């Protein structure tokens, strides 16, 4: 008889009329129930998978899941179609690959996004490892499940639009540790100092009422008062640093100094694709649902990859949708795929197709968002999946013509 080692509740239930916001993300030890089985999320250490780890994940996805693998907007890898019966063996396999934490609490705290464009010796990997150790220590502050961190030490920041709460960034005098939306921060020069500053800022967040009912984000706390009041309440050293890195646009597939960046339709691949990529070298996981193949100089000739910057599928985002997600009101990806093909010449900005108002695949605003509701799709311009619709009650069958006429 198999004994489940799931740590924490599995969210289950029928399709509902209104989305349920869980306030936490799935993990490996605390998976979440979806329409196609358990979603098991793996948090690669320091944002990197060795070739053996990637090859092992592909093998385990076939053995214990459906073989489908998702990349999340938090730079994690998700295995789909896992069952309660297959979950224990999957965890043991991941543990052998050094991809499992001591417990679900440590797993949730290690919510660190690392820029894939780090170079050897620039401090990124050292900070990531020290920070992970500090965040999972018994003395670490207890924070909401979605509270996250980014490490982005290049002069051109590619993570500025990625949703996190505390950032470690490049600075003229070293590195800058700052809260999301802050224009100042603490200057540090060592990995230990960076981790210490992160913990101090997280403790300040808790002490100043940032956590309510187990939830809370730094940007929301920061925006709750006047600028002067916010600034004056910060610890002194977080009021000093400025001159942050310059924002760069989200990278596209192709050749980069560190290797080849490749994308996937809706950030999803088959296990065989991951195994083939692992044969090319270590992989760096990104929050853009892409992978960077370390040291690769040419675009890999592997089916299912997006290797061109002008591929229209890069501008279309869609969640799992029905029936894979219990909360989705309609299928999303067939519609998104059809729209991308029809609107390829017209679609110059992001189109987001969401199965419900939660907008899990793209929490921020998009140029065009289509949100499935019990009464059809709502069309939202320049907003999020829960935004005010310009049109409502649209069917999937007539949306291609509707958007084709309305786009310039």
pLDDT for the residue 400:
76
Q: Which of 247, 272, 293 is the last residue of a domain?
A: 247
pLDDT of residue 15: 34
Q: Are residues 327 and 297 in the same domain?
A: no
75 falls within a domain: yes
Count of domains in the chain?
3
Can you give the pLDDT at residue 228? 63
The pLDDT score that the predictor gives to residue 229 is 66
pLDDT in tens, the chain (408 residues): 333 333 433 333 333 345 555 556 789 999 999 989 999 999 999 999 999 999 999 999 999 999 999 999 999 999 999 999 999 999 999 999 999 999 999 999 999 999 999 999 999 999 999 999 999 999 999 999 999 999 999 989 999 989 999 999 999 889 999 999 888 899 999 999 999 999 999 999 999 889 999 999 999 888 876 666 666 778 889 988 776 778 788 899 999 999 999 999 999 999 999 999 999 999 999 999 999 999 999 999 999 999 999 898 998 999 999 998 989 999 999 999 988 888 777 777 889 999 999 998 998 899 899 999 999 999 999 999 999 999 999 988 878 777 767 665
Mean pLDDT estimate for the chain: 89
Residue 126 shares a structural domain with residue 93: no
For residues 155 and 203, membership in a common domain is answered with yes
Q: Which of 146, 236, 219, 127 is nearest to 181 (CA)?
A: 219
Query: Contact at 8 Å (CB) between 251 and 262?
Result: no
Predicted model pTM: 0.88
pLDDT of residue 19: 56
* Burial grade of 59 (CB within 10 A; 0-12, 13-18, 19 or more): middle
Q: Report pLDDT digits (tens) over 117-165.
A: 999 999 999 999 999 999 999 999 999 999 999 999 998 999 998 999 9
Domain containing residue 241: 118-247
130 and 241 housed in the same domain: yes
Look at residue 25 in the predicted model and tell me its pLDDT. Answer: 78
Q: CA neighbours within 13 Å on the CB side: how many for 310?
A: 3
User: Does 242 lie in the same domain as 128?
Assistant: yes
Residues 227 and 268 in one domain: no
Give how far the C-alpha of residue 310 lies from the chain's centroid of Cα atoms, to the nearest Å.
23
CB-based contact 114:187 (threshold 8 Å)? no
pLDDT of residue 131: 98
Residue 40 domain-assigned? yes
**Domain final residue, candidates 230, 247, 264:** 247
Rounded Cα distance, 292 and 116, in Å: 7
């Amino acid at each position: 008889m198999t004994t489940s080692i799931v740590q924490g509740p599995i969210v289950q239930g029928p399709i509902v009329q209104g989305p349920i916001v869980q306030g936490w993300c799935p993990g490996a030890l605390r998976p979440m129930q979806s329409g196609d089985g358990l979603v098991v999320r793996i948090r690669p250490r320091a944002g990197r998978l060795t070739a053996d780890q990637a090859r092992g994940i592909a093998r385990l996805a076939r053995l214990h899941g459906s073989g489908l693998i998702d990349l999340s907007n938090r730079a994690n890898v998700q295995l789909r179609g896992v069952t309660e019966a297959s979950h224990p063996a999957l965890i043991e396999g991941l543990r052998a690959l050094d991809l499992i934490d001591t417990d679900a609490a440590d797993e949730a705290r290690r919510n660190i996004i690392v820029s894939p464009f780090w170079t050897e010796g620039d401090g990124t990997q050292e900070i990531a490892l020290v920070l992970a150790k500090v965040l999972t220590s018994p003395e670490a502050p207890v924070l909401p499940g979605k509270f996250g961190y980014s490490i982005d030490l290049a002069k051109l920041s590619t993570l500025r639009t990625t949703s996190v709460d505390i950032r470690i960034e490049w600075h003229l005098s070293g590195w800058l540790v700052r809260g999301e939306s802050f224009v100042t921060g603490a200057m540090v020069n060592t990995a230990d100092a960076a981790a210490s500053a992160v913990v101090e800022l997280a403790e300040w967040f808790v002490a100043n009422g940032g956590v309510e009912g187990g939830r809370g984000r730094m940007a929301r706390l920061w925006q709750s008062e006047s600028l002067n009041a916010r600034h004056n309440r910060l610890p002194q050293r977080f009021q000093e640093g400025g001159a942050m890195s310059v924002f760069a646009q989200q990278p596209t597939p192709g050749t980069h100094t560190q290797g080849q960046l490749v994308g996937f339709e809706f950030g999803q691949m088959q296990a065989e694709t991951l195994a083939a990529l692992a044969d090319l070298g270590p992989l760096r996981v990104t929050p853009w649902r892409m992978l960077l193949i370390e040291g690769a100089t040419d675009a890999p000739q592997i089916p299912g990859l997006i290797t061109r910057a002008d591929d229209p599928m890069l501008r279309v985002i869609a969640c799992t949708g029905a029936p894979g997600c219990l909360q989705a009101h309609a299928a999303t990806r067939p519609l998104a795929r059809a729209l991308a093909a029809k609107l390829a010449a017209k679609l110059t900005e992001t189109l987001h197709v969401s199965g419900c108002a939660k907008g899990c695949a793209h929490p921020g605003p998009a140029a065009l968002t289509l949100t499935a509701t019990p009464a059809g799709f709502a069309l939202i311009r320049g907003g999020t999946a829960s935004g005010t619709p310009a049109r409502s009650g649209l069917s999937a069958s007539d949306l291609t013509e509707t958007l084709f006429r309305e786009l310039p």
